Amino acid sequence: MKTKDMTIIAVMAALICVAGPLSIAAGPIPLSLASFAVYLAGAVLGAKRGPLAVAIYLLIGMVGVPVFSGFSGGIQKLASVTGGYLIGYLPCAWLTGLAVKPEQTEAQPKWKLPAMMVAGTAVLYIVGTAWFMIQTRNSLAASMGMCVVPFLPGDAIKIVAAALLAWPIRKAIYR
């Protein structure tokens, strides 16, 4: 791995660490900017390096640095009701990264990146909601009402914003 690659991975992990704590309490699952940063990590770094940036973020949080929602940290956060969503960031970044090829600087076709972000979000919701259901013993309908439906509009906005920003960032990095 080149120094440039390691630097970009570190910068994307840092971006997730900065975005992650910025959250609004929205019931048991907070509304956070972390997913936006995860979309960017996958879109900018690709399917191999994007999840690596997410894994670094998770490790930083697990050792206690307050990079999770609400400026929290520690391994106990992964065992909490929100832990599944944190773990779900890994496949979300991977699926998003499948939309780009290494060093690619132009969207071809234009719909592919946002579509893979939507697919990544679906897996994020599945992993997170399943974990939430295990932790709370809530029904699927109740869990969807608390953990998915309220977040759909915000995640749609984050996907559009990340898809629009990804190509200029990639162009600047891989020129």
Q: Tens-of-pLDDT digits for all 175 residues of the chain?
A: 799 999 999 999 999 999 999 988 877 888 899 999 999 999 999 999 999 999 999 999 999 999 999 999 999 999 999 999 999 999 999 999 999 998 788 888 889 999 999 999 999 999 999 999 999 999 999 999 999 999 999 999 999 999 999 999 999 998 8
**For the chain, how many structural domains are there in total?**
1
Structural domain boundaries, residue 62: 3-173
Cα R_g (the chain), whole angstroms: 15
Could you count the other beta carbons within 10 Å of the beta carbon of residue 85?
25
**For 109, left (φ over 0), alpha (ψ -120 to 50), or beta?**
beta
CATH code of residue 31: 1.10.1760.20
Q: What's residue 175's pLDDT?
A: 81
* Spatial distance between the Cα atoms of 143 and 147, rounded to a whole number of angstroms: 6
Q: What's residue 44's pLDDT?
A: 96
Q: What's residue 108's pLDDT?
A: 82
